[in-house]
């Protein structure tokens, strides 16, 4: 029997897509990458994933896992590979309220995890714009971040255990629920962020935290990034580290927002040089319960700190959300980021991370060097300022400048001790950067791990690790 017939025998004919029916999976959501898989197979259990992987091995076909397909670096691009979609593996196996954890399959959409946790008075603290379509397997495979990494860490920090189907079809059961396990190598971390190059994550044990009783959210106008960093530090000290998000939007972002999404409005009549979105949350009842005047203590703390900084001239203005609707409106402006660069071409999109005290230096130096290269160049930046992660996009006036623009950005990042890849993964688009910027010894170790687990090189080939010279 051929591969397609073998796959149909395992998962059923309706779960094996070929030809034009693969289009929804083979094309990334931004339209940048369009591949042509031999088929898309949709297994519904770990046992079916095992069988699919073994069949692919028997037929000598590469395997490319896919979840919600919300990535932007070409991590699921394939020509002739077998795409294994985890969308039907969407069961929450267990939610343990007292242990504050959830056991879920790779195809569970993040919003569903949020809803399941909320029903138990808990919170799954991984939050970003694509949460309505991104799936657990994908965020684990890319070690996704988001808006509240500042308080809870990235996906890796939230994961206690994983279940992985290895390239030879064996199941690696690392589904421990322990917060401490010092019994040898921490193998789960090999697969988190590996983008499916070492195996297929089919399930995971994820941490939950108590649901916040109250949020304090504000949009702030600041003169400069150093002033903004001072605000973050003051707020962290005053709230005992309760700041969950500290988002940065420069004037260019607000200008573009006004053009592309005028329906979302602007926080300030006069657009400032630096706009910040800051949010703190508490699970302490005394900080969340309104006093006799109706004021929420956590919000009052934020108001007090902002008033002090306004009086000192360290910020220029602030708007504090007084309702859930106002909070949502503030977040809507921030989460529109993915839309703002659509249609602007040529574009060089980067996802960099800097030491917290070097973010301003990066922007100053990168913009200086880029303007010297191309005086007409534009840029668009948005970032998670609390963890130093910037989404910095440059728009040169000519397409032939794109490579040089990327090199300049990477040069500045490297000089300041940063990373060229923060939370979007490597995929295909950052392979040249990996080759140029990653420590050569680190690349050798990665290749050794890949060769040990996937000696035939069939798991998502050509991604993450550049070919050796």
* Same domain assignment for residues 358 and 324: no
Calculate ∠ Cα 181-187-192, nearest 5°.
Answer: 115
The reported pLDDT for the residue numbered 395 is 96
Q: For the chain, what is the mean pLDDT?
A: 94
φ, ψ of residue 429 in degrees (nearest 5): -65, -25
Q: What is the pLDDT of residues 24-77, one digit of tens each?
A: 898 887 777 888 999 999 999 999 999 999 999 999 999 999 998 888 788 899
221 touches 274 (CB < 8 A):
yes
Q: What is the DSSP string of 221-265?
A: EES-HHHHHHHHHHHHHHHTS-EEEEEEEEHHHHHHHHHH-GGG-
* Same domain assignment for residues 36 and 125: no
Q: Which domain holds residue 348?
A: 344-425
Domain boundary among 210, 234, 256: 210
* Same domain assignment for residues 120 and 161: yes
CB contact set of 264 (below 8 Å; sequence gap of 6+): 257, 329, 332, 333, 336
Domain boundary among 337, 354, 387: 337
Q: CA-to-CA distance for 159 and 155, rounded, in angstroms?
A: 6
Give all strands (DSSP E) within 336-397, no chain letters: 348-353, 378-384, 389-395
Structural domain total, the chain: 4
* Same domain assignment for residues 311 and 404: no
399 touches 428 (CB < 8 A):
no
* Same domain assignment for residues 185 and 268: no
Q: Please report which confidence band the pLDDT of residue 231 belongs to, taking 50, 70 and 90 as the band edges.
A: confident
* Same domain assignment for residues 221 and 247: yes
The reported pLDDT for the residue numbered 146 is 83
Helix (H, G, I), strand (E, B) or coil at 107: coil
The reported pLDDT for the residue numbered 1 is 60
The answer as to whether 462 is a domain residue is no
* Same domain assignment for residues 70 and 11: yes
* Same domain assignment for residues 418 and 310: no
Q: CA-to-CA distance for 217 and 132, rounded, in angstroms?
A: 22
Q: What is the pLDDT of residues 240-286, one digit of tens each?
A: 899 999 999 999 999 999 999 999 999 999 999 999 999 999 999 99
Distance between alpha carbon 341 and the CA centroid of its chain, in Å? 18
The β-bridge partners of 83 are 40, 64
The answer as to whether 234 is a domain residue is yes
Give the CATH number for residue 65: 3.30.43.10
Q: What is the pLDDT of residues 159-192, one digit of tens each?
A: 999 999 999 999 999 999 999 999 999 999 999 9
Residues 439-468, mean pLDDT to the nearest whole number: 95
The reported pLDDT for the residue numbered 295 is 87
Domain boundary among 297, 321, 337: 337
């Amino acid at each position: 029997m051929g591969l397609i017939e073998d796959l149909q025998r395992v998962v059923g004919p309706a779960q094996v897509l070929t030809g034009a029916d693969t289009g929804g999976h083979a094309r990334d959501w931004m339209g940048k990458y369009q591949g042509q898989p031999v088929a898309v197979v949709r297994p519904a259990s770990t046992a079916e994933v095992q069988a699919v992987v073994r069949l692919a091995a028997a037929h000598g076909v590469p395997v490319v896992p896919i979840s919600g397909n919300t990535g932007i670096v070409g991590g699921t691009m394939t020509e002739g590979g077998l795409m294994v979609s985890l969308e039907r593996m969407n069961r929450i196996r267990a939610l343990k309220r007292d242990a504050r954890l959830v056991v879920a399959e790779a195809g569970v959409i993040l919003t569903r995890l949020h809803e399941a946790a909320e029903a138990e008075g808990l919170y799954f603290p991984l939050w970003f714009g694509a949460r309505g379509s991104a799936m657990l397997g994908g965020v684990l495979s890319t070690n996704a971040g988001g808006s509240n990494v500042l308080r809870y860490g990235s996906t890796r920090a939230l994961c206690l255990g994983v279940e992985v189907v290895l390239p030879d079809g064996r199941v690696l059961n690392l589904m421990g629920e322990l917060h401490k396990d010092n019994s040898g190598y921490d193998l789960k971390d090999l697969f988190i962020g590996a983008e499916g190059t070492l195996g297929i994550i089919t399930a995971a044990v994820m941490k939950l935290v108590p649901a916040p009783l109250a949020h304090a959210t504000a949009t702030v106008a600041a003169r400069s990034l150093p002033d903004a960093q001072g605000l973050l530090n003051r707020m962290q000290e005053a709230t005992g580290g309760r700041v969950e998000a500290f988002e940065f939007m420069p004037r260019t972002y607000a200008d573009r927002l006004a053009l592309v999404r005028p329906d979302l409005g602007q926080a300030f009549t006069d657009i400032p040089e630096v706009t910040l979105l800051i949010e703190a949350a508490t699970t302490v009842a005394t900080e969340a319960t309104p006093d006799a005047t109706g004021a929420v203590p956590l919000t009052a703390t934020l108001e007090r700190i902002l008033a002090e900084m306004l009086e000192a001239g360290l910020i220029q203005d602030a708007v504090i959300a007084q309702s859930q609707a106002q909070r949502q409106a503030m977040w809507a402006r921030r989460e529109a980021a993915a839309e703002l660069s659509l249609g602007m071409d040529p574009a060089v999109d980067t996802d960099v991370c800097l030491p917290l005290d070097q973010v301003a230096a990066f922007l100053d130096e990168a913009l200086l060097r880029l303007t010297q290269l191309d005086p007409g160049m534009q840029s668009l930046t948005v970032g998670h300022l609390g963890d130093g992660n910037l989404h910095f996009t440059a728009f040169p006036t000519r397409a032939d400048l794109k490579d040089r623009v990327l090199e300049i950005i990477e040069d500045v990042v490297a000089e300041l001790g940063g990373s060229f890849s923060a939370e979007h993964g490597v995929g295909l688009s950052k392979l040249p950067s990996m080759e140029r910027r990653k420590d050569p010894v680190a690349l050798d170790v990665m290749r050794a791990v890949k060769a040990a687990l996937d000696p035939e090189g069939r798991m998502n080939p050509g991604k993450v690790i550049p070919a050796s010279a």
